[in-house]
Amino acid sequence: CIRDRLGSGQSVTVDNTYNVFDSIGFYFDAESHGRTFDFILSDALNGGSTLYSTSFVVDSTGINIININQAFAGGSNLWALLGYRGFSGKTAHFSYNDTYAGGNSSFGAIGSQSNWASLDHRFIAEFSNTAVPEPTSFLAWSLLGLTSTSLLRRKRNL
């Protein structure tokens, strides 16, 4: 089970407008390059439901991008968990100043991690917007398209 392994994680708060979690990238130490780790996106640190999971090999650039491409409710608090598969060397980097206002970091056996509110992983979370056009703006664009088509046909007939 992935959750029984040593790992660390970072909480991420979903924005109300930009609620599609496109991807997340973590910075890794050179010692972990070439090693396979697991990634779990969950709805709670300990005992939460798995919302997304995958395995990846840390590449030599030090940053690994994990594509998620899922929409979540705005304001949701998600946990991005890294399972180290028994590796105990240098792995995901921590930042010593808590610059991400919506996050906390954790470390330990996945499922019983210690929470560190004063540290964050160095990570990049990319979100996008799934806003659907309002009916009035959709109607306006449709009318504009029909008007343009009508004018082009009329011009050809002249």
Q: In the prediction, which pLDDT does 3 show? A: 46
Name the residue with tokens 């991008």. Answer: 65
- Percent of the chain beyond pLDDT 90? 20
Output 36 or 9, whichever has higher pLDDT.
36
Q: Which H or E run contains 116?
A: strand 114-116
pTM attached to this predicted model: 0.69
Cα–Cα dist 9/45, whole Å: 8
Q: Is 135 helix (H, G, I), strand (E, B) or coil?
A: helix
Taking alpha carbons only, the member of 61, 65, 57, 123 closest to residue 92 is: 123
Distances, alpha carbon 17 to alpha carbons 29, 55, 97, 127, in Å: 33, 29, 27, 9
d(C-alpha 111, C-alpha 125), whole Å? 23
Dist CA 116 CA 2 (whole Å): 21
Tens-digit pLDDT profile for residues 2-31: 444 677 888 888 989 999 999 988 888 888
pLDDT digits 0-9 by tens, 54-74: 999 998 887 889 999 999 999
Q: What is the dihedral of CA 101, 107, 110, 115, to 10 degrees?
A: -50
Contacts of 49 (CB under 8 A, 6+ apart): 42, 43
Residues constituting the chain: 158
Other C-beta atoms lying within 10 Å of the C-beta of residue 120: 22
